[in-house]
Chain A
Amino acid sequence: MGLLTDPGAGRGKLTQLLVTYHNKLCILLYVGGVAWFLILAHDNFNAGTYFSENALLPGLVKGEFDKEALAKTYQSELLDEAARYPDGVPYSWLLAKFRQINLDVYTHNFTLNYPLGLGTEYTGKNVYAILRAPRSSSTEALVLSVPYRPPTSVHPGTVPSIAIMLALAKFFRRQKYWAKDVIFLVTEHEQLGIQAWLEAYHKATSGRSGVLDHGDMMGRGGAIQAAINLELHAEKIMFILMLKYKGLNGQLPNLDLVTLVHRMCSKEGVRHTFKNRENGNYRDTFKEWLHSFKTLMAMVSTQATGVPNGNHGLFHRAFMFSLFAFSSAFFKNGKGNTALYFQIGRVLEGLFRSLNNLLERFHQSYFFYLLPATDRYISIGMYMPPLGLLCAGLVIKAFALWLKMQEDPTKRNDSDKEDSDMKSENSGSEKKGAGNFSLVPVGMTVLATHTLGIILLSSPQALSVVVSRIWYVNRYFNIPGIFYLDSKHAHSSIILPQI
């Protein structure tokens, strides 16, 4: 007889002890799990980051990027061009600039069949240029992508990132040490553009087919090994790099890539933050712990939403690890030195040279980790035990309940004669409960919740049809698009489809 059906089970002394004290035990386990997790944020209980991939050779080579003046020129030119296209992308300017650098330039058209808009179609166009590896066949590629934001967009503009990208493209074009193709990508419409580009690149559709028509891709490089998404809002005075890694459904890039970027920034003297928090230097251990803990919780909460907080997130699915590498921020207290195009260029150059040394996709370091600081990590092996303790409480509670249900009424009759009357009443009611236990209410509840869920899932499309019929909303009005709200961050990304 199996454990669960053995009437002899549940009679042992230990299990009886468990049943009597299980509440206290569950609470203890829960509190212990939470306390253990809190402690993990302290430096003594987590580890410093290190490089697992020997091939990276990070920071060994001297940077040679010297095109910061060119980047400034590009920036001013682009600002003028962008002013002429307040709602769109200055395609001709971008194409012309890439062609001047002698790269293979392509455009990529995609359409969105908006499911909530009664068949409205929105189109978009991405521009990308491929720098072919001079001495090797195009088997692998690295991507540097920038989302273009027109001046009327609600998000901060990304003109400086396009400027530095063009300057880098010109610098990279003249080097002879590339073993992989480098693809410079300018996308439109935030995450829609990058999603369409990725789908077209891999000739695969993820998600519901027919919604996003990714179009055809004329030029292609090799398999993408890593991607950097660049969003510099200004190259003004206070320049700090914010690094974000969250992907779709909470997927993270390989820890090696994260460590690489932080190490490069430190090498060039650029201040870098993670979750808007730099590494703090506190004498007080409690304050230090609190700082690390807040960073950790920031990461956990954003990861919990499962929403990528930038274009990089969509790269993670097929093992193309990427990160939303940079964005500038203005710090009120005004300390720190300026990081100009020169330093950013050097950081990116060092980064791409290290990525160039890779032979395989990132696979050596951790995929599941938490970062309490830019240079410390908590691996899955370290944060699983507290989670295990939390779940152990649940398991013990369930086991204890089951044991209680399985208690034999005759056993109660053998107990102390003084309480026999009371006990017999108890046993009678319990026996009644145990005997009459039926699964019907449980099944009904499950069925009802599932039905409600299905209704909710399919409601937007149905509702939009119904509502439009009732209110005669026609397609000449701008229909707000998909609304992402990132709880921890002040901004939210709204995709405004262009008609």
Chain B
Amino acid sequence: MKYHNNIMRIILILMSFGYVFSVHRDLPEHFTRAGHTNNWAVLVDTSRFWFNYRHVANVLSIYRSVKRLGIPDSQIILMVADDMACNPRNPRPATVFNNANQHINVYGDDVEVDYRGYEVTVENFVRLLTGRSPPGTPRSKQLLTDEGSNVLVYLTGHGGDGFLKFQDSEEVTSQELADAVEQMWQKRRYHEIFFMIDTCQAASLYEKFYSPNILAVASSLVGEDSLSHHVDPAIGVYIIDRYTYYALDFLERVEPDSTKTMGEFLAVCPKRVCISTVGVRKDLFPRDPHKVLITDFFGSLRPVELTISGLNVTAMPYQFQNFLLQFHPQFQASSVYQQREQE
């Protein structure tokens, strides 16, 4: 009897090897090589008042793109300093448009603003990044990242040489920002960070960074102004900024399974259309941007693996399934009924 069991085991092992080898495929690089496990986005608009309509339109457009590419609201922190949709001067109440053709209402009815109005302050922003929020802060207002998080930080508003203006009354300097990010690194609150800054003299904001794994792009260099794109004559304001307009143009053509790279994204607004020169900081970033997928930062990758053939796991006796699992962890990965979620 014992001899009979041993034979059965050997036959089953041989059969399972066959199954395993027949369904094994080389997993694509980004499934196994992706260093991050989840994606977060921090989208900040720092200016208020009706004539800064375009900054709100900027940040809401990026919010839409990021949401469309898969990052859920629970992992997006949206900070909008003023309410343009309900501003009494808005001739189209409850809407915010980013284009004069007014095709897309970026305000919509599923926008979740986490920090609104006067809550967008330098203190709140730094506390958000460093995680030092007072007890009782709601979850939607906390950045609950860990060491496997890729964070996208988008800043727009009025800026100058070395600072970003918040709410027309205070500023965050590039040194403060660099120190906040270093605190994040010390506490292992990010895996990689991508900074996207659309303000005047934006490059000055990323000059002081000294923590690793930071990739930054700015819409203009020190001494240059970032310009707005066009006016909407029906609403009577400048409706979107140049850099964000062309960045959105690029992002609109990105799908969640896109293979476009960050390198292409960094070159998205040449000087002839942007008028200002786009600045990039990649010395703190270990990988080559041309080999980094854009969905590493903008999307939340949920890979679904397809197998060529099916595997009828219910046909196997339970104790042999456990036996095989011990020997072949890959058996787990190639199961048709499993879907690995990257959260």
Q: List residues of chain A with CB under 8 Å of any chain B CB.
A: 54-55, 57, 60-62, 133-136, 175-179, 353, 356-357, 359
Contact = CB atoms under 8 A, between A and B. Distances in A.
B89 A60 contact: no
B51 A61 contact: no
A179 B89 contact: yes
A62 B237 CA distance: 11
Q: Which 6 interchain pairs have the tightest Cβ spacing?
A: A61-B236, A136-B88, A179-B88, A62-B233, A135-B88, A177-B91
A57 B49 CA distance: 12
A134 B91 CA distance: 11
A135 B234 contact: no
Contacts of A356: 89
B235 interface: yes
Given A60-B236, A61-B233, A62-B234, A55 B49 contact: yes
Contacts of B86: 135
Please classify the interface of chain A as helix (H, G, I), strand (E, B), loop, or mixed, using the class held by over half of its residues. loop
Contacts of A353: 236
B223 interface: no
A479 B50 CA distance: 53
Contact of A176 (B91, B235, B237): B91
B51 A177 contact: no
Q: What class of interface size applies to chain B in its complex with A?
A: 10 to 19
Contacts, number: 44
Interface string B49-67: 1110000000000000000
A275 to B, nearest CB: 31
Given A57-B237, A61-B235, A178 B88 contact: yes
A357 B50 contact: yes
Contacts of A57: 51, 236-237
Given A61-B233, A62-B234, A175 B91 contact: yes
Contacts of A134: 88
A176 B89 CA distance: 8
Contacts of A177: 88-91
B50 A55 contact: yes
A256 B244 CA distance: 31
Contacts of A61: 233-236
Interface string B6-48: 0000000000000000000000000000000000000000000
Nearest to B51: A55
Interface string B227-241: 000010111111000
A357 B51 contact: yes
A133 B93 CA distance: 14
A133 B91 contact: no
A179 B87 CA distance: 8
A60 B88 contact: no
A60 B237 contact: yes
A100 B86 CA distance: 29
Contacts of A178: 88
16 contacts: A54-B51, A55-B51, A57-B237, A60-B231, A60-B233, A60-B238, A62-B233, A134-B88, A135-B88, A177-B88, A177-B90, A179-B88, A179-B89, A356-B89, A359-B49, A359-B50
